[in-house]
Amino acid sequence: MDDILERIRSGNIPDHALGALARGMVPIEGEIMIEALFLVCEKDPGLLEDARTTFDGLPDGLKKTFFQNREIEADINAFYLKGFSLPVEVKSAIILNPMTPAVAIAEAAPGLESVLLDLAVNNQVKILEEPAIIDRLRLNPALSINQKQKLDEYGRLLLKAKIAPAEELEGLSTKEIEEQAIADAREFVAAFGKESGPMKKTSMMDTARAKPAAKEEPKVEAPPSESPKPGAPVKKEKLSILEQLASMSVPQKVQAAIKGDREVRSTLIRDSNKLVCCAVIKSPRITESEVEFYSNLRNVQTDVLRLIASNREWTKSYKIIYNLIKNPRTPIAFTMKFLPRLNKKDLKGLERDRNVPEALRKMAKRIGRGGK
């Protein structure tokens, strides 16, 4: 029956058939019906009420199973969460599904049942994607004191994750800026953990309070103390990461390198200022997978690679030391020290690698043949 979904998507189905689908008059499997109702309403929003009636008639167990599927389109989850009356167990499945857009959870937050509030309050991943969830949850009258306190803590940490205006950092040494930023970042990691998975477009820098120099003042989001009105749509006006970083002073960039997210770090690791790119490596938010990637870059400063090579935890990783050895920008004192840890196959490959110093090739050849 998947072909009926394709026919709806392609528009290759008459209007009267769409109406019949919305009213549940077409005999198709329940889970396919849930997706079909979504597609039908996309084609003709006027069929929404009929679709709601048909959906309500489906078994709750079927609905729960459908929304637990992590491979369904994110828009389907958002559509049902925002526009349908759902049993608690079905709504729970949608909130817990990582494919559900954070903005959909934010819009639903003021009306969530009390038994579901913990799911939203403790969903740090979605709160990071959409900090507006915090203020939207505060509008929910069923929120407990403990839940309010947790949201207050999140709000405090998110506020501390922002970048201070340039004038606030004037007179502070780089060491002072780094120490405070590292302390803030450690608190952040303790509450939210470190990032995982592929790079995302969303960024904590979206709410940074950077002040552009000799440029038009950017539009900023309302501060956390200003709660949106109930029912109001969640709106965002963003500058790109590069635009925000380009407008920052060096002290602000140092803060951003330590307190910002992975997208910010991946930009600032290539910064021409040594203080900035090295601050990335000092961030408590950085992950081993990032370090592995950075250790392989040929366009970073030598000081960045020196910091990586000096870290005992990171150099326990074979892949990181292999990248450092292969990287011609790594100080040779470190590459020589790591060389004996390579396996015979990689030592053999290094002998033929013209991108590394000749002394390193000779040493690899000697070690590979059992020499010292």
pLDDT band for 371, please (50, 70, 90 cuts).
Answer: low
pLDDT of res. 2: 61
pLDDT of res. 160: 79
User: Mean pLDDT across the stretch 336-353?
Assistant: 92
Distance between CA atoms of residues 344 and 226, nearest Å: 62
**pLDDT tens string 143-196:** 999 999 999 998 888 877 888 899 999 899 999 999 999 999 999 888 888 877
In sign, the C-alpha dihedral spanning 285, 288, 289, 295 is positive
Buried b (16+ CB within 10 A) or exposed e, 238-273: bbebeebbebbbbbbbbbbbbbbbbbbbbbbbebee
Q: Quick check: pTM over 0.75?
A: no
**pLDDT tens string 265-305:** 999 999 999 999 999 999 999 999 999 999 999 999 999 99
In this prediction, what percent of the chain has a pLDDT beyond 90? 63
pLDDT band for 238, please (50, 70, 90 cuts).
Answer: low
**pLDDT tens string 221-236:** 333 334 444 444 444 4
Distance between CA atoms of residues 327 and 357, nearest Å: 10
Distance between CA atoms of residues 296 and 126, nearest Å: 31
**pLDDT tens string 113-126:** 999 999 999 998 89
Task: List phi, psi (to 5°) of 363.
Answer: -65, -40
- Residue 359 Ramachandran class (φ > 0 left, ψ -120 to 50 alpha, else beta): alpha
pLDDT band for 197, please (50, 70, 90 cuts).
Answer: low
**pLDDT tens string 26-68:** 888 888 999 999 999 999 999 999 999 999 999 999 999 999 9
**Residue spans per domain, the chain:** 172-192+240-286, 301-372
Distance between CA atoms of residues 197 and 208, nearest Å: 23
User: Mean pLDDT across the stretch 213-220?
Assistant: 34
